[in-house]
């Protein structure tokens, strides 16, 4: 038996402690739940949590047998969240590197 909303092509995830690729809507729901569990409910993480909650809602809105349009919507939402996390991490790394360079004697 296949998982709910199996993707024809996997959706890239590869962020945090989750899997590299998501193979279905069901697996995406698990990855989002794990990410929410690991993300503190603090103002610093507000935008990240807001985006995660929006992604979770999109996942929940798909029916037991998602239509191709619903699957496409899910994959676009996943891609958007992954892009957000990677850009955020790149900015943090750049800021850290810049700080280290300016802090050297």
Residue range 7-61, pLDDT digits in tens: 999 999 988 888 999 999 999 999 999 999 998 899 988 999 999 999 999 999 9
Per the domain annotation, does 27 fall within a domain?
Answer: yes
Q: Where are the alpha helices (DSSP H) in the chain?
A: 25-38, 46-61, 68-103
Per the domain annotation, does 90 fall within a domain?
Answer: yes
pTM, whole model, 2 decimals? 0.82
Domain count, the chain: 1
pLDDT tens digit string along 66-77? 999 999 999 999
The pLDDT assigned to 47 comes to 92
Owning domain of residue 21: 6-103
Per the domain annotation, does 1 fall within a domain?
Answer: no
Per the domain annotation, does 49 fall within a domain?
Answer: yes
Residue 65 falls in which region: left (phi positive, over 0), alpha (psi -120 to 50) or beta: beta
Per the domain annotation, does 46 fall within a domain?
Answer: yes
Per the domain annotation, does 69 fall within a domain?
Answer: yes
């Amino acid at each position: 038996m296949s998982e709910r909303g199996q993707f024809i092509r996997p959706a890239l995830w590869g962020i945090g402690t989750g899997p590299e690729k998501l193979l279905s809507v069901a697996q995406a729901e698990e990855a989002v739940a794990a990410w929410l569990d690991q993300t503190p409910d603090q103002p610093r993480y507000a935008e990240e949590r807001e985006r995660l909650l929006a992604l979770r809602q999109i996942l929940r809105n798909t029916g037991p047998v998602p239509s191709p349009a619903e699957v496409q919507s899910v994959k676009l939402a996943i891609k958007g969240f992954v892009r957000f996390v990677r850009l955020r991490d790149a900015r943090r790394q750049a800021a850290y590197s810049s700080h280290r360079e300016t802090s050297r004697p």
